[in-house]
Amino acid sequence: MTYSYYLWRGQRGADNVGVDAESVTDNPLALNDPPPTAVQEGEPGGAQGTPAWLREIQPASQVSSKVTAHKLVKIVAVVCTVGLLGGLAAGVWFLVRLLLRPAAAHSPAGLGDTKETLFCNVTEDVTVTDPRKVFYRISPENSLLEIQLEKLQTWLPVCYERWNSSLGTLVCRQLGYLRLTKHKGVNLTDIGPNYTDGFVQITSEYKTNLENIWQFRGSCITGKVIALKCFACGTRAKLSRIIGGMEATLGRWPWQVSLYYSSRHTCGGSIITSQWIVTAAHCVHNYRLPQVSSWVVYAGIVTRSSTKLVQHTGYAVEKIIYNKNYNHRSHDNDIALMKLKTPLNFTDTIRPVCLPQYDHDFPGGTQCWISGWGYTRPDDVHIPDTLKEAPVPLISTKKCNSSCMYDGDITPRMLCAGYTEGKVDACQGDSGGPLVCQDESVWRLVGVVSWGTGCAEPNHPGVYTKVAEFLGWIYEMIENY
């Protein structure tokens, strides 16, 4: 990858500014030209019949020096004027280039070109404010739901009273899992003496938002606590790359898919359930219902040539939904969903990725990964056959929105990842693919490859759709369709 941005990023390039000075020439009378020959009196055309034009030049010695001096002054004036205008034009040209430099790249930079990094001294934010008042987790030992309230520093089990499956689904989604798969009440006598600090219980008025329904209790009336399991995602099988990347092995990114339109790889995507794929709106927004049948999704592959094999028959697309607020000019809200006609069969090489947790942002500097079949150089004309992967650190919005990077173009629905010096990035053909970050033991789809200026250019990192801002929309679309 340099990553699927080259195609979409290029739309942001500004026109080059330049001034061409035309050369000015003059051919005055030479100072050493001989004077006109005098006409002798008595000869034809003599003094009595001398033409007017000849009479005017007869005093050659007196007039020629005046004419020559006058023309010399004109020449000097013209030369000075041209020089002044040329210097002014050159000054304006350099000023315009200097003013435009921070806003956008005008031409692809060399991979080793880091001269622009001298202009970017914005300090990276390494911490983020966590707005959450309630924290959730599922114990890996016994599957018990545990909650930590804002004012308490202890993880407490949840009483079974007033519990239902709808609450289970909400809790799973808070944790970045698409749905609840199993829940039950467990007797306190079966969980041992580890929980002695109290319990969390659902209040009687639990129709408010999830954050406000919990209260501390010293005991559970029913003598039971909640155990639950959520939809499994974000894991990889234990199996034996993008400008600056390496080739990926089969099963390393099992949620990565290739989206083909009319038998050609067009974009990447990420599996979130057996029937739903997340991709970028700019990949699909021009394709309406009549063209849905032209899309095919290939999963469980790392080489595109394997799509021609019988065992890798693509999955037909039933529905395409892109966010209604997508803006093709600014690339804001650049996210879409694809529903497959037939469900995927999950294997070691085909698995879903987890979504982000609600209200939880990764700080700038967090090491994440991109993957895709996009161009490996900005000037490429062929998409590589093998899936590439590369590590990229997240960049805070504050830094990415500074004048030395994107100068305010990054909206709250976008995030940036990459390096100040460039070299590693997504490029054309990677659009819609995943930016994933590991959170404890699972991988989460933090971003969707969206846009950027050029590919792997200094001070112009990749820009990604911020998936955490679309969790409600994703869940709503999946439930309604």
pLDDT, tens digit (0-9, with 9 covering 90-100), for 245-291: 678 888 999 999 999 998 899 999 999 999 999 999 999 987 655 58
**Does position 419 have pLDDT exceeding 70, yes or no?**
yes
Least confident of 57-66, 158-167, 425-434: 57-66
Alpha-carbon span 7 to 479, nearest angstrom: 33
User: Is 285 among the catalytic positions?
Assistant: no
Among 81-95, 130-144, 326-340, name the one with the lowest average pLDDT: 81-95
Strand runs labelled E in 158-213: 180-187, 199-202
Residues 4, 371, 431, 450: which is the catalytic one? 431
* Whole-number Å distance between alpha carbons of 327 and 308: 35
**Cα–Cα distance between 202 and 183 in angstroms, integer?**
16
Q: Which residues of 52-62 are buried (b: 16+ CB within 10 A; e: fewer)?
A: eeeeeeeeeee
Q: Which of 183, 265, 282, 460 is catalytic?
A: 282
pLDDT for residue 465 = 98
Q: Is the Cβ–Cβ distance between 373 and 384 less than 8 Å?
A: yes
What domains lie within the chain, and their CATH numbers? 1-11+235-481 (2.40.10.10), 134-230 (3.10.250.10)
Beta-bridge mates of residue 136? 147
Q: Is 334 a catalytic residue?
A: yes
How distant, in Å, are the alpha carbons of 118, 421, 463 from that of 467? 32, 26, 12
Distance of alpha carbon 269 from alpha carbon 339, whole angstroms: 12
Q: How far apart are CA 400 and CA 462, in angstroms?
A: 10
Structure tokens at 28: 């005055």
Q: What is the mean pLDDT of residues 320-341?
A: 96
Annotation says 282 is catalytic: yes
Question: Which of 258, 332, 334, 371 is flagged as catalytic?
Answer: 334
Write out the two tokens for 294.
Answer: 């032209």
pLDDT of residue 479 exceeding 90: yes
Burial class (CB in 10 A: 0-12, 13-18, 19+), 4: buried
pTM of this structure: 0.72
pLDDT exceeds 50 at position 109: no
pLDDT, one tens digit per residue, over 216-227 is 989 999 999 999
Report residue 8: phi and psi, to 5°: -90, -30
